[in-house]
Structure 1
Amino acid sequence: MRRVSCGAYIASTAVVCGAVALGDEVTVWFQAVIRGDDAPISIGAQTNIQDGCVVHCDAGVALEIGARCTIGHGAIVHGAKIGDDVLIGMGATLLGGSIIGDGAVVAAGSVVRQGMEVPPNMLVAGVPAKIMREVSDKERAFIAYAVPHYIETAEGYLPEDS
């Protein structure tokens, strides 16, 4: 793990290339790929991009991920816009033009189809994803817990002289 000049942490086997802007204390974990070669990608402060994620965009369409988001292991985010304080579950897929509102949760393994808009504070699940209910207090608490947890974990990977 290394800390880069923008204040983000990037694992040794992660790939970040092209027009990618990382906010302060973003963590990009092992085997994650963030490719801003077709359009710019911006990732807000304190968001964690977990192991094996792929973040990429459609040609000419910017991709945005808000602050304090958790993008779970193996998720694919392709050409989407994600608000703040969002949880994208492990193995979920977000297709081009999808919009995920602030505080929303996309359940593990779900496929958010092209152009779908998920309202703020709603949970979606399934293939294709459907709106199921409002996000629970327990789910909100997990999102809040994950933010400092992944930053602290990343700091534990830093060389002692950094």
Structure 2
Amino acid sequence: MPIYEFQGNAPKIDPGAFVHPLASIIGDVQIGARCYIGPFASIRGDFGAIVIGEGSNVQDGCTLHVGHGRRCELEPTSHVGHGAVVHGAFLRRNTLIGMNAVIMDDAVIGESSIVAACAFVKAGWEVPPGCLVAGIPARVVRQLEEGEREGKATATRKYQELAVACLSTLREVKTSP
């Protein structure tokens, strides 16, 4: 898998994390235990630090990046859906970022909140805890119901289980012509 040191900063990946061989990890990046990093994810810690907390997942085709001297952080059990972009933002514990959503610099996604698919969270906006945000630009739609929070937690656990399964069973297969 392409993992690169950049300007003396080498990624630190917990041995209990799964990083797909087609993901790209560059520079000042920390990935915690039980994380799942999907194929074609690009995690670029070239300009600043990126921290992915334990049990989080960054799915297929996501981009995590940060501005010069800045930080991007996903607290434990963060869930970033397919194709999403998180640029220099902070995701509090148990958040879910929907597919193809964009989260900009210095935005803070409150604990146990969900950002809907294709939403655009503008720079510096603080999403309150426990709510659903949607739209372009994103706005608070409503507070999440307990069942929705439980559903998110279940989905994140499935990705934690997938990380473990991939570490022990995922193997490239050579096909014959």
**Structures share fold, TM-score greater than 0.5:** yes
Query: Could you tell me which of 64, 68, 72 is aligned with 1:59?
Result: 68
Aligned to 1:145: 154
Q: Secondary structure of 1:158's match?
A: helix
- 1:18 equivalent to 2:27? Answer yes
Select between 85-94 and 133-142 the one with higher mean Cα deviation. Answer: 133-142
In structure 2, what is the Cα distance between the partners aligned to 1:83 and 1:157? 26
- Do the aligned partners of 1:28 and 1:49 also contact (CA within 8 Å) in 2? yes
Aligned to 2:101: 92
In structure 1, what is the Cα distance between the partners aligned to 2:78 and 2:14? 21
Deviation of the 1:53 alpha carbon: 0.3
RMSD value over aligned CA atoms? 1.8
How many residues were matched structurally? 160
Name the amino acid aligned to 1:112: V
Deviation of the 1:97 alpha carbon: 1.2
Q: Which runs of 4+ in 1 moved over 4 A?
A: none
- Do the aligned partners of 1:69 and 1:143 also contact (CA within 8 Å) in 2? no
Name the amino acid aligned to 1:17: I
Deviation of the 1:87 alpha carbon: 0.5
| Structure 1 residues 160 and 108: CA distance shift in structure 2, 3 A | closer
Aligned to 1:109: 118
Gaps of 5+ in 2: 2-12, 171-177
Query: Could you tell me which of 126, 129, 137 is aligned with 1:128?
Result: 137
In structure 1, what is the Cα distance between the partners aligned to 2:168 and 2:114? 34
Residue identity over aligned pairs, in percent, reads 39
Gaps of 5+ in 1: none
In structure 2, what is the Cα distance between the partners aligned to 1:103 and 1:5? 24
Deviation of the 1:160 alpha carbon: 4.8
